[in-house]
């Protein structure tokens, strides 16, 4: 099942998270290669959707392709793409390829490979905020460009969670320097 079919018909967030590695994500022309993602399911104790529909997580229950933005630790914004109602993919890191100047402006003096190396950094660099919550991936300013070929993808446990910590639902582009953290016990 390819990414476009998953996004059109809705489907497994794990398949979408893995499939998005190597694609390019842009907001207003700024962004880069998706090098790190995480999947969150509907019946997944680590997921914001686990306790059901709330005002803050309503966008996560929208149709496939809905943008779900939440505030993390009271101060960062993090961006998800809905795979199916209650299931989504967290975009954790990009390798910057476009709009480096505007992203550097938003992020301050950091090395280019760290501009989007982490979910909070990524949202900051792309200018994504709570105002984007509920928007559609298929409409401007968002854009998703297919990857060239099947990349080498690493998998490992998700980061920063305290429940269902062992599911290998974090995915990364092998060899990328823009990962938020390395994959210690990485598997293909």
Which residues would be at the binding site for DNA (CB under 7 A)? 38, 40, 46-49, 51, 54-56, 60, 68, 70-76, 78, 80, 88, 90, 107, 110, 114, 118-122, 158-162, 180
Reading the block at residue 134, the tokens are 């509920």
For DNA, give the closer residue by CB, 8 or 54: 54
* Spatial distance between the Cα atoms of 52 and 153, rounded to a whole number of angstroms: 31
- Measured from the CB of residue 1, what is the shortest distance to DNA in angstroms? 21
Supply the minimum distance, in Å, between the C-beta of residue 163 and DNA.
Answer: 7
**CA nearest neighbour of 121 among 86, 49, 72, 182:** 72
Residues in Cβ contact with 174 at an 8 Å cutoff, skipping those fewer than 6 apart: 151, 152, 153, 154, 186
Shortest Å distance, C-beta 150 to DNA: 25
Alpha-carbon torsion 120, 122, 124, 127, what sign? negative
Nearer to DNA, 95 or 146 (CB): 95
Pick 10 or 120: Cβ nearer DNA: 120
Residue 115, both tokens: 């501009």
Closest approach of Cβ 2 to DNA, in Å?
Answer: 22
Taking the complex as a whole, how short is the minimal distance between the CB of residue 140 and DNA, in angstroms?
A: 23
Token pair 């823009």 is found at 178
State the Cα–Cα distance between residues 88 and 180, nearest whole angstrom: 19
Q: Which residue lies nearer to DNA by CB, 5 or 72?
A: 72
* The residue to which tokens 């990485």 are assigned: 186
CB atoms within 10 A of CB 166: 7
Q: Which is nearer to DNA, 63 or 149 (CB)?
A: 63
Distance CA 71, CA 137 (A): 19
Minimum CB separation of residue 5 from DNA in Å reads 22
**Nearer of residues 29 and 160 to DNA, judged by Cβ:** 160
């Amino acid at each position: 099942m390819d990414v476009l079919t998953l996004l059109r018909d809705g489907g497994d967030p794990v398949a979408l998270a893995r499939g998005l590695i190597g694609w390019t994500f842009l907001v207003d022309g700024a962004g880069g290669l998706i090098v790190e993602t995480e999947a969150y399911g509907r019946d997944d104790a680590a997921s914001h959707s686990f306790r059901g529909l709330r005002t803050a997580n309503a966008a996560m229950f929208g149709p496939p392709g809905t943008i779900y933005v939440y505030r993390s630790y009271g101060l960062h914004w993090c961006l998800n793409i809905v795979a199916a109602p209650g299931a989504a993919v967290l975009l954790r890191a990009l390798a910057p390829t476009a709009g480096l100047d505007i992203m550097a402006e938003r992020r301050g003096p950091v090395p280019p490979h760290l501009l989007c190396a982490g979910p909070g950094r990524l949202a900051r660099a792309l200018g994504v905020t709570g105002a984007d919550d509920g928007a559609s991936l298929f409409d401007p300013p968002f854009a998703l460009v297919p990857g060239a070929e099947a990349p080498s993808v690493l998998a490992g446990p998700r980061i920063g969670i305290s429940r269902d910590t062992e599911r290998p639902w974090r995915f990364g582009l092998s060899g990328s320097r823009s990962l938020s953290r390395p994959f210690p016990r990485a598997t293909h």
